[in-house]
Structure 1
Amino acid sequence: MVVDSNYAVKLNDYDFPSAHGCILSCAFTTGYGAAWLEGRVRPGDTVAVYGTGSVGLSSVIAAKDLGAKKIIGIDKNERKRQVALSLGATDFINSEGLGTMTVSDKVMELTGGKGADCCIEASGSDALMNEAVKSALPGKAETVICGAGIFPDDKLKLDFSKFLFGNKMTGCIYGRVKIKSDLPFVLEKAKQPDIKAGINRILAYDEKTKECGYQVDIRNGSEAIYTMLEKYLEDPEAIKIIIKLNDEDEPRK
């Protein structure tokens, strides 16, 4: 692939494991940049992260690194709870286990009725985008939209009263990180032992995983993959799994 040099950074200059390349230039940069750029998250803040996939968990890591006091992870997948808490979240909301409450109601409850200083929406769900706006601290907070809409007909129906009192919403593709000026800083952050350990947790990448030499035929479907994860991985609840294709696979016809 041919890439303009203005859009390329040599990862080997930072001594990263090659597996980290699949997350550093997209998910981690997007999630970290959403919290870091323009001073969105400050020490002592409360941060609500909607969606705890690889982008959302990178925002959790960033919020902790930037000194947030309370970090609320939100997801409909209960298996994400332990991962989010291990990476720095202080609270976790299962969006499908609230009964008659909305997610924003629960965030307000956890923040004593004040709302979050910064809301980061990383799920791509239009419904959760609206909930993120509703859970923001009136008159101050910024809601950062990282996730693209999941469906073509997704629409935002916003509580405009928040904006009348000074709240903001910002789109944040790729964390709004500039390749030459910002990305080297983010990559240096990713080298820090605690943040690197967090990335490893997202990737299920550690020495034991790397050396186990398991094999699975992905043509047997998702059940074969799940069986492999449960049997061999140190952390079967990881968000992203590195799959190396067999170099000696059957020749293409």
Structure 2
Amino acid sequence: MTSTTSAPATTDREERIRNTALRHAQDIEGRKRLQSRIADLVVEAYDLPSRPDADPGRPLAADATLFKQCLAVFRPSDLDDLIYERNVDDRCGYSLCPRPNEKIVNAGQKVWNQKGGKDFRLLDRAELEKFCSSACRERTAFVRAQLRTEPAWLRQEALLGVDVKLLDEIQADGGGGGLVEPLNKLALSQGAGEEMAEKLEALALERGEPQNASNASDPLPIIEKESDQVPEAPSLGRIQDLVEGHRPRKVRFQNA
């Protein structure tokens, strides 16, 4: 009787273990396929644009579509890999730009920018040499702010609804000529949450732009602590523990 009832239980347990192992194997295989696909997309974005005289401000529709399809599954690290590969080939890190990246000679690791006033600041030379101009640098920063940080296989079901916008598309719709204003417009249109808000704040600080004026002008609250305890005069304690009038932090021979 015991052997008869235990046999089905053992079979069910083995079946659950087998199904679990099969599901994990399928997940791992799916991750490998997706990682391989991302590597292929890096190569495809590396070959952009399709014409050597392309204008990054007005890219071809096919090039822009392919680039946005790549960005839909990219993480910031994947975009960094793409920029690095293009820089090795002496090309601008922005995939829709055919021009060579900037080369700064006779300079150290930090260089001054060409702007004056509040925008005059010290910049990282390596960051400047990733792109051909500040315009392509802003274009890349705009798409980077829209990338997700979690791996693509964790958001695989939502990839079909991802729609990455290009900076020139937002500016063409009346988003202004800067970078932060189009990002604010994009955040409002997408209903962005805390992650997008943090990216906007970090991007504004990186560009040296002031934060919200209303927040900056608000006075800081000063709260005075109250206590009902009667103050007491300081006491020297045991005089024999003092060394030339000072009490050491640790007295080894206090109990001696």
| TM > 0.5 fold call | no
Greater percentage in helix: 2
TM-score, L = length of structure 2: 0.22
Which TM-score applies when normalising by structure 1? 0.22
Q: Give the structure, 1 or 2, with the largest relative contact order (CA under 8 Å, sep 6 or more).
A: 1
Higher strand share: 1
Whichever of the two has the greater Rg, that structure is 2
